[in-house]
A and B are shown apart, each in its own frame.
Chain A
Amino acid sequence: MRRNTFSAVAVLAAATLSLAACGGSSSSGTPSASSSSGPSGEITVFAAASLTGSFTNLGKAFEAENPGTKVTFSFGPSSGLAEQIDQGAPADVFASAATKNMDQVVEAGNASNPVAFANNTMEIAVPADNPAGVDSLDDLTNKDVKVVLCAQDVPCGVSARAVFKNAGITVTPVSNEVDVKSTLSKITLGEADAGLVYVTDVKAAGDKVSGIEIPADDNATTTYPIASLKNSKNADLAQAFVDYVLSDKGTAELGTAGFSKP
């Protein structure tokens, strides 16, 4: 009786495992057809939160140019995405907001030959009515000014702290947000007086926030690398998307968002 139960469990467990395996590889049936008529199937792109707007547009344009393809995005802090990829998350492409996080993925053997595709710089973002009257980096040192930053391990947080170091100032934030979009949302909602985000985020937020330029000498530039991932179930399509981002169309779309060419 006991024995039977155990073997039954084993059978069930095996069945569950093979079922799970099937689920994971469901997209692998498609690429065989792709060799003749361009890429098809689905891919998942892990991209830095700051790429949310431009990559969503690029994904739509890519799908339109390549009927039968579907690009799904997961946007988040590059540090978190890199960690997820190294833990085996099913991603096909990784676009990072910093070389450091891409290097982590490459070192873990999950990607090779990343290519830089965009540069971004920092800007001070304030709510449209600028309640604290911020107009320079020095104003952020004022204790009455509520400053939000990205957490110090997230690329936008690293850049923000580099800017303060360049400017020789010390800023104590009221909150270390998980990524650049949540930093920005505290400003668009008017809960914080100022924050350091990317130029592209200020642009994307439209008239809800205004940007205050940081002098070039103090500013920090981050380079965005992109790579297709080793564990991709659809390597052809993954590479096709990477190529699309690097193409003139991709560069143009990123340019509209405020990114510069690396």
Chain B
Amino acid sequence: MMALDRGDRPGRRDRDLRITTRTPWPMMLPALVAVLFLLLPLAGLLVRAPWTDLPQLLSEPEAFQALRLSLVCATAATGLSLFFGIPLAWILARSRRPGISVLRALVTLPLVLPPVVGGVALLVALGRRGLVGRYLDEWFGYSLPFTTTAVILAETFVAMPFLVITVEGALRTANQGLEEAAATLGSKPFATFRRVTLPLIAPSLVAGSVLTWARALGEFGATITFAGNFPGTTQTMPLKIYLLIQNDPDAGIALSLVMLLVSVAALALLRDRWLSSGARL
């Protein structure tokens, strides 16, 4: 909230106070309820946390394993999203071909699709008996489900659209005059993209990457459906937490705290880069 005010109102501290008192109370009340609603569950997590047993709960090798796997997979998924997502975003933003808006709607579908459905879709497409997966199995004797690769793919499937829409938005609003200038000076299209366009959209690229990474990190439904759940191979933090909560709630809450911490860190990074440097969604 404060961060939003910051942009157009310099000297934020004292001014913020005055803004608060000027807010009409019919707005104030629902806003307060919203804040409470959003923060109360997190406070609950802190209150219920088994603080004394925390070091012991977190030093479990399986917890560390799950955290490591989560970080590795989310990072890999972000990498894949960048490699394939940036060109896609560029085409969506620049192409004048008919049907491009339909394409945009289709590739951002995973944003609104329940992740479990995404997992089922991945299974019937890339699973051992799937549309494409059966050939992987027949020709190479390789099957994706139950592998770490499957976790990365599930996360990429769910998270890449975040990157695509963020970068596409930035490409649309970027100053194309600069690209044209580069072109008239003899720069080849790909060189222009690499040396003019990419630096122009850098802030959005960072914001999009953080969003994508955070979404991948929290992925649950598609992962458990497509990749399964096995410690060290496919069991990421959300899966581990889900199973722990049923049996050992304290340990589950302890791991939830770790995820909360990681999320706060990601958000801090996002806020600084995203809201202050003028990047747009």
Contacts and interface: CB of A to CB of B under 8 A. Distances in A.
Q: Do A and B bind each other?
A: yes
29 contacts: A5-B25, A5-B28, A5-B29, A8-B25, A9-B29, A13-B33, A16-B33, A79-B246, A83-B246, A83-B247, A83-B249, A146-B143, A148-B228, A151-B229, A151-B243, A175-B146, A175-B227, A175-B228, A176-B235, A176-B243, A178-B242, A178-B243, A186-B145, A186-B228, A189-B124, A190-B127, A190-B128, A191-B128, A192-B146
A1 B228 contact: no
Nearest to B226: A191
Interface in B61-113: none
A31 interface: no
Interface in B200-225: 224
Nearest to B247: A153
A242 to B, nearest CB: 24
A153 B246 CA distance: 8
Contacts of A174: 146, 228, 230, 233
Range of interface residues on A (Cβ < 8 Å):
20 to 34
Count class of interface residues, chain B: 20 to 34
Q: Is the interface of A mostly helix, strand, loop or mixed?
A: mixed
Contact of A83 (B224, B230, B245): B245
B32 interface: yes
Nearest to A175: B228
A189 B146 contact: no
Contact of A175 (B33, B229, B245): B229
Contacts of A173: 230
Interface in A1-51: 1, 4-5, 8-9, 12-13, 16
Nearest to B36: A13
B234 interface: yes
Nearest to B242: A178
Contacts of B145: 186, 191
B246 A177 contact: no
A258 interface: no
Contact of B230 (A154, A176, A191): A176
